Structure 1
Amino acid sequence: MKRWLPLSIIAATLAVAGCSKAPNGDTNTSTSSQVAKTTANEAYLALADDYFNHDLALNPISATYVGINDYNDQFGDQLTDKWLKQRHQLNKGFLAKAKKIDRSQLSQQLQLSYDMFVYNRNLDLVEETFPARMIPFNQFYSPLFSMAQLGSGGSFQPFETVEDYQNWLARLEGFISFLNRAEDRMREGIRSKVVLPRTLVERMIPQINAQLVQDPTESLFYAPIGQLPESFSDADKQRLTDAYQSFISEKLTPALLDLSVFLKDEYLPASRGSDGMWGLPNGKLWYQYLANRNTTTEMDVDDIHELGLSEVARILAEMDQVRQTVGFKGDMAAFFDYLSSDPQFFFDTPQQLIDGYMGLKDDINQVLPDYFDVMPKADYEVRAVEAFREKSAAGASYQSPAVDGSRPGIFYINTYNLRAQPKWGMTTLSLHEAAPGHHFQISIKQELTDIPQFQKFGGYTAFEEGWALYAEYLGVEMGLFEDPYQYFGKLSDEMLRAMRLVVDTGLHAKGWTREQAIQYMMDNSAMAETDITAEVERYMAIPGQALSYKVGQLKILELRAKAEQALGDKFDIKEFHSQVLLTGSLPMAVLEDKINYWIASKS
């Protein structure tokens, strides 16, 4: 992929080069300076895209997700010593190359990009010092699920040509090799006492067993055969059908059975009794790293815990105001029970829930133009979470649209337990996952044309989840929470993010048990116990990720308040949102630098 210098940079360079004069009147000096800046910009863009291309070669599934089909037949050699060494050399080498570029000669926008690039390489090099390779997957993030989604025919993996179908079989061969490597790394983890909590292993075994089918046509991985294009010849259809059936029966199912036996007989007995990272060798330091990486801050985990306690108390007080507004006579515990059990707050069928979200989409779309100058070209649709993952999936999630525009974004709703999907939570969930939350931020980022590729397709959880939580807050200004029960839903979701600060740090830094974490969330929310249990086990599986939401939201709100105060009548909410969204996902410190620059430019 050749990288061309953005027109905006070329135009700006030509304009300055043609009109500016150095203080001594020497136009040659000014022109020389602009040539240096242009050269620096070109060098950095080439470097960033060179890294991106090398990284895709190491991570071929990532290439498929960003619409590059050169590696669709490969799974990748992750977990091998060779791959780990190549990743180290990639990060170390490109960090050294980046440091040879004079940052001061870059355009303002590319200075932000440069800071991100260097930040990422340093983080990746530190990450290598921790033994993540020994815990290659868990019940929440599983390659089994991601491969099943890719092979469904409705995701990023193309199934349009005979070669596409052959590529998928080849990728599945790589997946089987990965499963074998994963077992070896998990055995290494057993020897080093770097293993998952017992509860999570108990969740993983039935997930795998559910894929052990006797009839290959019942496998999730047989789905592409049910979608064979009519244009294929009868011979090709028969050949592919036979190939998929034999592969599932003779290779895939035995590999999954082997993994299931390994987990049950070897890994489960060696799994750890502690529910948090404090129970791992060097676990507290590892967790502090993950907390900093996910929040893109240097906050100490103890400070994050205290912030969470403070936010929980504040939100509880607002919830009590809602209780009084609707005239509920009982205490907060009774109010929580009422909201989580009264039939009026729940749909009777999954389709009613999906239809309700489609109606909300129309309502929200009507007010968006008052707050945004820029909107994504891609649309989104609402879908139920697939049956094969609904028992362990989150209540909702978002999948970005295809880069080429061939598929819209997807707002997934988990319809497995309708009592975990109250009507009063719908507005805030739609704002968060769809528009103007994840759908806006991620789709707009993918559609940008004047930033390096790694910015279009990379991201930071604190920015992305912080923006989505900010989008919930924005719903208040949009007038979408006039119903007090819907406003309670907004508070309930905000409470979830505040509790995460307490529970995640409690589990991993303060020795909390799974049961303590579950009880804390039950005491402070109206969430269904099944939902709470899945949440807590998610925090156990992916430490630190849950911290990013509230930390990111509070930083965006802080920067907005700062801009409003500094600019007064010059503050424009649409312009602020464009400043936040139009350079992709940023670390919090880089976003702060950008907003400060914008404020100064308008003052």
Structure 2
Amino acid sequence: MTDQTAGAPSRPQTDIDRIAEEYVHRTAALNPELNVYLGLEGDKAGFGDYSPAGRAEAASLAKDVQAQLQAAQPVDDIDWVTKTDLLRELQLDIDVEASGWGDRDLNNLASPATGIRDIFDLMPTASEDDWAQIAQRMRNVPTAIDGYVASLRNGIANGNTPAGRQIENVLDQYTEYEAGEGFFRDLAAAAKAGDADLPESLRGDLAEAARAATEAHAGLARFLREELAASANPVDAVGREFYSLMSRRFLGAEVDLDETYAWGIEELERMRDEQEAIAREIKPGATVQEAIAFLDQDESRKLHGTDALKAWMQRTSDQAIEELGRTHFDIAEPIKALECMIAPTQTGGIYYTGPADDFSRPGRMWWSVPKGVTEFDTWRELTTVYHEGVPGHHLQIAQATYNREQLNLWRRVAGTSGHAEGWALYAERLMESLGYLDDPADRLGMLDGQRMRAARVVLDIGVHLGKPRLDGTGEWDFDYAFDFLRSNVNMNEPFVRFEVNRYFGWPGQAPSYKIGQRIFEQIRDEAKEAEGDAFDLKRFHMRVLNIGGVGLDTLRQAVLRGA
């Protein structure tokens, strides 16, 4: 297969490129939030239609593009990848809509209940025009929520509702949307264009728009509490058929769920053994918990305050970019810009947002620090910087964006959770092999995260497929899942509870990290076996990155076609 290398001569647009690019723009017309996420021209203040009619329109678009693609013939390997993967994604979109997921899409992290607010984190705030766009988007929040409520009501009518646990989770998050309080009020009150105050008229417009957005979220809370809760599904598990669909959606690959469950149990045991061995390196004879307690007392490994955290993140990230760019990856100049940010929210999440398509907005690593948390341990978090930055998410996503001369717009922005998160976990182990985690404490921190990812393969599949508990005392339920995760992670109880609630409400997503890593390692090993002595790891990695964010079945086929 031809290497799809950044810096190669510009490739003429093909019919398949045109279909794929038009699909991105048509999707953004239906979902204007994408214009902000991707840095595209177009409506920067609107929302998609979350109602059943809006979802039906999106499914109709998918079927139309599917028919166009099926009739188009690839002219080269790049076209073959685009056609193969876009057809896969379109069919999944059609299947997910047919499953009725949109009528029950409610959880504590990744549903319209939170997504309608989250888009504001990425909106520019440098000018009066930027703030005018924010005011308009806040005015559009009530309509977006009305559409979302229409879908949830459709679920009530069809007996297809979210679990009661998820309704309770979102209501707990919505306590901030009381009259005169919360995110939107704070956003409007802090508005400035650089160092300059805004005109009073615009400040008043922002305040009024913030009230409307706040009231709309309060109205959604009333609907959840007074209407949806009465029809809530009492069962948390989604069952094998629906779980299989969601697993394919997040991986872009079909896996044997029973074999994967058994592998997850074995992988978890391996992580435990590895952690215990490293704990004894840190402190002779120590258990994992004793080694952690020992490290937690080490002031040389502590950061105090979010300013120190942000500076350390940036320093660590910059060093990785500079060094790896000289030795193991070809990192283009625009990709070297990675901003480390403290998020305006306080959920505890750490995440990455990609650059604008023209790099006018750089890639960003965000840390959402929970209220009251002021100390951070570098040994726990070093691998997180590599996971979110370089060689993890930033290198992967920004490289596809940079490779615009070879990849159409859809190829630059597409991808699955299994591809993105699988690569990031693969990158953590790569950094270990390159010597960046030689300190046993840093390696213990990496394994802490890897062990959590293995544990949630077992937990997620166990819960949703109704597997027997590992102790043989019945099927998985919330209390058992909570105790299981708590025994396998070094995190406080509220965070563990948040995570378990996430797995219960977002089936198939959490295991995609570790399963994705497994698939990346399998693809590497298969390529190495096929190429023999000619195999070169750097060339393999750049080939993978230059293909872009495709589903993992497509990635495997694409890499091995070129091996």
TM-score (norm 1): 0.83
1:51 Cα offset (Å): 1.8
- CA change 1:218–1:168 in 2 (3 A) is closer
What residue number does 1:248 align with? 210
- CA change 1:537–1:342 in 2 (3 A) is farther
The equivalences for 1:132-531 within 5 A come to 132-143=101-112, 145-151=114-120, 155-157=122-124, 160=127, 162=129, 164-214=130-180, 219-222=185-188, 225-227=191-193, 237-249=199-211, 251-278=212-239, 284-332=240-288, 334-335=289-290, 338=293, 342=297, 344=299, 346-368=302-324, 369-375=326-332, 377-378=334-335, 379-386=337-344, 389-390=345-346, 392-394=347-349, 396-416=350-370, 418=373, 422-449=377-404, 450-510=406-466, 511-531=475-495
Q: Deviations over 1:171-211 (max 9, x none)?
A: 33332112122223223323434333333322322432313
Q: Aligned residue pairs: how many? A: 545
- CA change 1:266–1:89 in 2 (3 A) is closer
In structure 2, give the amino acid aligned to 1:100.
Answer: A
What residue number does 1:85 align with? 56
What residue number does 1:114 align with? 83
What residue number does 2:557 align with? 593
Quick one: distance in 1 between partners of 2:497 and 2:333? 35
1:567 Cα offset (Å): 3.1
In structure 2, give the amino acid aligned to 1:253.
Answer: T
In structure 2, give the amino acid aligned to 1:397.
Answer: Y
Q: Deviations over 1:66-108 (max 9, x none)?
A: 1223112321223242x233222211122111111234xx211
Q: Secondary structure at the match of 2:369?
A: coil
In structure 1, give the amino acid aligned to 2:73.
Answer: D
Quick one: distance in 1 between partners of 2:438 and 2:220? 52
Q: Deviations over 1:564-585 (max 9, x none)?
A: 3343442222211110001211
- CA change 1:231–1:491 in 2 (3 A) is closer
Question: Which stretch of structure 1 is more off in the superposition, 183-192 or 488-497?
Answer: 183-192
CA contact (8 A) 1:319 1:488 kept: yes
1:99 aligns with 2:75: no
CA contact (8 A) 2:7 2:403 kept: no
What residue number does 1:46 align with? 18
- CA change 1:411–1:10 in 2 (3 A) is closer
- CA change 1:466–1:508 in 2 (3 A) is same
In structure 2, give the amino acid aligned to 1:437.
Answer: G
- CA change 1:340–1:418 in 2 (3 A) is farther
User: Structure with the greater relative contact order (CA < 8 A, sep ≥ 6): 1 or 2?
Assistant: 2
CA contact (8 A) 1:504 1:546 kept: yes
Q: Deviations over 1:471-519 (max 9, x none)?
A: 1011112211111111111211111111111011122112522221121
In structure 2, give the amino acid aligned to 1:426.
Answer: E
Q: Deviations over 1:37-72 (max 9, x none)?
A: x8xx62222222222221111111112221223112
CA contact (8 A) 1:216 1:222 kept: no
Quick one: distance in 2 between partners of 1:336 and 1:305? 29
1:359 Cα offset (Å): 3.4
CA contact (8 A) 1:216 1:245 kept: no
Quick one: distance in 2 between partners of 1:355 and 1:8? 36
What residue number does 1:27 align with? none
- CA change 1:112–1:339 in 2 (3 A) is farther
CA contact (8 A) 2:177 2:215 kept: no
What residue number does 2:472 align with? none
- CA change 1:158–1:80 in 2 (3 A) is farther
CA contact (8 A) 2:35 2:43 kept: yes
Q: Secondary structure at the match of 1:227?
A: coil
Task: State, as a whole percentage, how many aligned pairs show the same letter.
Answer: 23
Gaps of 5+ in 1: 1-5, 12-37, 279-283
Quick one: distance in 2 between partners of 1:157 and 1:145? 19
Quick one: distance in 2 between partners of 1:228 and 1:480? 38
Q: Tell me how large the CA RMSD over aligned residues is.
A: 2.9
What residue number does 2:100 align with? 131
Q: Deviations over 1:256-286 (max 9, x none)?
A: 22222222222334333433324xxxxx311
In structure 1, give the amino acid aligned to 2:522.
Answer: E
In structure 1, give the amino acid aligned to 2:58.
Answer: R
CA contact (8 A) 1:380 1:411 kept: yes
In structure 2, give the amino acid aligned to 1:160.
Answer: S
1:122 Cα offset (Å): 1.4
Quick one: distance in 2 between partners of 1:231 and 1:519? 51
Quick one: distance in 2 between partners of 1:328 and 1:385? 39
What residue number does 1:33 align with? none
Q: Secondary structure at the match of 1:411?
A: strand
Gaps of 5+ in 2: 1-5, 467-474
Q: Deviations over 1:95-146 (max 9, x none)?
A: 111111234xx21121111111111111111112111222344321254654
TM-score (norm 2): 0.88
- CA change 1:412–1:419 in 2 (3 A) is same
1:293 Cα offset (Å): 1.6
